Structure 1
Amino acid sequence: MHYGYRVAAIFLLGFFIDCINIFMSAIALPSIAAQMSVATESISWMANSYILGLTLIVPLSGWLASRFGTRQTIVASMLIFSIAALGCARADSFSTLVAWRFIQGAGGGLLIPVGQALTFNLFQGRQRAAISTLIMCVALIAPALSPLLGGMLVDVLSWRWIFYCNIPFSLLAALLAAIWIRPQAMERTRADITGIILVCGTLGTLLRSLSLFSEQHAVPQAALWLGVSLLLGWGYLRHYRRQSTAILDLSLLRNPQLNLSIAVYYAVPGVFTGVNLLNIFYLQQVLHFSAGHTGSFMLLYGVGALAAMLVAGRIYYRAGAPRLFTCGMLLHSGGIVLLSLVSDTSSSGILCAAYLLMGIGGGIAANCAQTTALIELNEQQMSGGSTLWNINRQLTFSLGTALFTLLLAVLSRYFPGELAWHLAFIIAAVSGLLPLWLIYQRRFHKEIQ
């Protein structure tokens, strides 16, 4: 096999492993919550800790690769991931599970930017475009298949096998990296350690405050954590103004294409992550669907997203980003509205239509956001823009999960039974349309100039 394809195979295997860990573990959350007696609003920390670990390590990955070498970094990434997966599977308390998930996220996050950079450097032109298509396909196949497979593991064995099943694949990726990747010299870079600490501290304390706000007797603590988050965020702004190589180049947010794409990513993949988590609990805890049945609906989401993404990629320049964004968000929110109509086990048809619509809308919007985000950045801005965009993608998942579990907890205090769940879905559908204001405000300003 050609060296470039060997490297691409290692990267795609690691990327697939990382993707399935976000979506496969979600299907097991109700079982974990029941066994470990964890409240619904707190169980999201299992997902958030994984994404926090991944977010923390992404900016450090380039420095680690330049310091220790690409091959050693990728091998270490998969070995750390394997050890952490074993720790998750054997965890006997929720706090231990959350800690191992953080380490697992850090291990998986090491491979993504290093492997992607190495792979893209080995391909040019149409070959690079083909590799990009494979990456997008992996990103779709993982959320489509992993909930169903994860649900079957939970139903037949236990939630612990969600983590055990990852270990052979991550060890295979480590072995292939050790055998196939050639040693190479890299220019050493400096890491903005202070910036990393401030950014991750801001996010971690913000998520902690959101989690506490959902508990009736913890409002003072929640307000304290929120204050700490704002203080750390202010600290990063001061650091950013003094640091020429800060971890996040906030000046790039002035680019209208990038900030619109970020807003759309929060409104579509971010909202979907939170909505899907709520629906998993709703179907399993309220309507008593099995984990496997619950996970099967994501197959329709994956089919719809794949078809939409292929079409959107072909018509992007002809239709234009505003039209594609609008179409994607309307379809995605329409699918979420359908979730509010699900009331019993005979509603499988509505669930199928909901996930298909969310998949089509999500595929259009996410693909358009990915294409639009960096389209106008020059060569000097590309590295900072890529870092900002990839960190933002991880934050959308964490914040979407935290905000909608908080929303459900608040609604459950004032509205009985299923009504609280249905209202949460309707509010989510409306919030998924908020970036439309940005799109048409900009179009209006262009028309009057």
Structure 2
Amino acid sequence: MTYRYKVALIFLIGFFIDCVNIFMSAVALPSIADDMHVSTSSVAWVANAYILGLTLIIPISTWLAERFGSREILTASMLVFSVAVGLCGMASSFHELVGWRFVQGIGGGLLIPVGQALTFNLFKGDQRAKISTLVMAVALIAPAISPTIGGVIVDTSSWRWVFYCNIPFSLIAAGLSWLWIKEERPVDLARPDIKGLLLVSAALGCVLMGMSLYGGDYPAMAALICLTAGVTFILLYLLHYRRSKNAIVELSLLKSKKLSTSIFIYYAIPGVFTGVNLLNIFYLQNSLKFSAQLTGMFMILYALGAFIAMLICGRVYNRLGARYLFTLGMLLHSAGIATLYLVNSPSDLPVIIIAYCLMGIGGGIGANTAQTTSLLDFEGDATHKGSVIWNINRQMSFSIGAALFLMIYNLLLKHLESTQAYHLTFAIAALIGLFPLLQMSNLNTQKERHAQQNS
């Protein structure tokens, strides 16, 4: 195996672990809520804490890799992850579980952007479409098998084993990182942007906290204070960014239409799906009395649809370009979400199957195209900085999607019966998922891009 494929394998293992921890733990949330006597909105913190840890460490991950070495950081990240995931399984209280999930997220958040930047710098030009296909293959396999396996674990054993089963994978990633990574450290290291890091971390933390509080059983004023603080920290970072020569998050990269559009798409497709799927898990298990195993098996259909989409994207991306694929992905994905509006009883199983197949095909087209398109404009150090922005966006989209639709559902539940609230939330999600259509005219087609390069 060549060196670049060894690096890619380490990144793909880490990416697999990340996907597993989002989807496998989601199917266990109803059981965790029952076991620890917490509400639906509160138990979402099991997912939010993990994503928050990931998000807060991502901005400094590149500097840490430069300071201490990519091999050392990747190895340490997976060791921290291994310890934290074990302690999640042993948690005796809900707050303890949430705390260790946060630490687990910090461990995982170091591997993904560093591993992605190392990998994408070794696969350039058209080769990035190939490695993006491998990334999306992992993104399909993990959601396909992890909810089903998680459902079996929850139904036959305990939700705690949903966490324990991650340990072998993280230890393998740690060992391979130590043995295979051979990146040299830079001779001259720029001073880290500590002030910028603190402002970004505070902004992300406050926004996530505010949305989660507003979507739960907490005073609206507490949520408003957090959201206001988040906006304030964002504005402060913008002022800081204008004065800094080495800002922790390089906002100038957002001038790339490929990166900015891909970010928007990720909120509209994977982000929306995360919230819809989480809500549907509670709907199916609590309202329709489906088992955790059956609930998890619907993700196999999603992955099958996304696999078909991956094959399509790999063949036609360079011919059609991102604009047409993004549009098709959004339309199919939102059609699948809208189909969930028709689910009223366990006998509507065929409707659920159609919905997840449509969401899978549309989601696979959109996510695969975004993954391929996002960093096409960058090379070298710009790839590292672009990877930081991309991975912050990726994690934030998951958390914001979950918080947003739990919030919408809880607000509707005050005025509607439970099933009606679920259905209306799905309808709203389908519309939100179409918002980026308004931006498609700003994205050059592949044909136009080649014309510009040749001019």
Q: TM-score, normalised by structure 1?
A: 0.92
CA distance change for structure 1 residues 200 and 93 in 2, over 3 Å: closer, same or farther?
Answer: same
Which residue of the partner structure matches residue 244 of structure 1?
245
Q: Give the 3-state SS of the residue equivalent to 1:340 in structure 2.
A: helix
Which residue of the partner structure matches residue 265 of structure 1?
266
Which residue of the partner structure matches residue 67 of structure 1?
67
Counterpart AA for 1:112 = I
Which residue of the partner structure matches residue 148 of structure 2?
148
Deviations 1:326-356 (A, max 9, x none): 2111110110011111111111111111010
Compare 75-84 and 309-318 and name the one that shifted more: 309-318
Query: How far off its partner does 1:308 sit?
Result: 0.8
Compare 270-279 and 201-210 and name the one that shifted more: 201-210
User: Root-mean-square deviation (CA), in Å?
Assistant: 2.4
CA contact (8 A) 2:73 2:111 kept: yes
Which residue of the partner structure matches residue 172 of structure 1?
172
Counterpart AA for 1:228 = A
CA contact (8 A) 1:248 1:388 kept: yes
Aligned length: 444
Deviations 1:70-127 (A, max 9, x none): 2222221111001100111011112111111111111112122333344455566787
Query: How far off its partner does 1:403 sit?
Result: 0.4
Which residue of the partner structure matches residue 224 of structure 1?
225
CA distance change for structure 1 residues 131 and 434 in 2, over 3 Å: closer, same or farther?
Answer: closer
Distance in 1 separating the partners of 2:379 and 2:183: 30
Distance in 1 separating the partners of 2:179 and 2:443: 52
Compare 373-382 and 100-109 and name the one that shifted more: 373-382
CA contact (8 A) 2:117 2:384 kept: no
Whether 2:422 is the aligned partner of 1:399: answer no
| Structure 1: gaps (5+ residues) | none
1:260-409 matches, cutoff 5 A: 260-377=261-378, 381-409=382-410
| Structure 2: gaps (5+ residues) | 449-455
Distance in 2 separating the partners of 1:350 and 1:394: 30
Query: How far off its partner does 1:256 sit?
Result: 3.0
Distance in 1 separating the partners of 2:76 and 2:430: 41
Distance in 2 separating the partners of 1:53 and 1:329: 29
1:106-125 matches, cutoff 5 A: 106-120=106-120
1:36-47 matches, cutoff 5 A: 36-47=36-47
Compare 214-223 and 57-66 and name the one that shifted more: 214-223
CA contact (8 A) 1:59 1:191 kept: no
Which residue of the partner structure matches residue 88 of structure 2?
88
CA distance change for structure 1 residues 190 and 59 in 2, over 3 Å: closer, same or farther?
Answer: farther
CA contact (8 A) 1:19 1:139 kept: yes
CA distance change for structure 1 residues 186 and 223 in 2, over 3 Å: closer, same or farther?
Answer: same
Deviations 1:385-415 (A, max 9, x none): 3321221111101110110110000000011
Distance in 2 separating the partners of 1:8 and 1:285: 40
CA contact (8 A) 1:198 1:232 kept: yes
Which residue of the partner structure matches residue 20 of structure 1?
20
Query: How far off its partner does 1:378 sit?
Result: 6.8
Query: How far off its partner does 1:301 sit?
Result: 0.6
Whether 2:175 is the aligned partner of 1:159: answer no
Query: How far off its partner does 1:181 sit?
Result: 3.9
CA contact (8 A) 1:52 1:200 kept: no
CA distance change for structure 1 residues 323 and 120 in 2, over 3 Å: closer, same or farther?
Answer: closer
Deviations 1:197-244 (A, max 9, x none): 212211221222222223566012222222211221121111111112
Distance in 2 separating the partners of 1:120 and 1:47: 28
Distance in 1 separating the partners of 2:67 and 2:322: 40
Which residue of the partner structure matches residue 453 of structure 2?
none
Distance in 2 separating the partners of 1:405 and 1:294: 18
1:407-426 matches, cutoff 5 A: 407-426=408-427
Distance in 2 separating the partners of 1:360 and 1:304: 4
Query: How far off its partner does 1:357 sit?
Result: 0.2
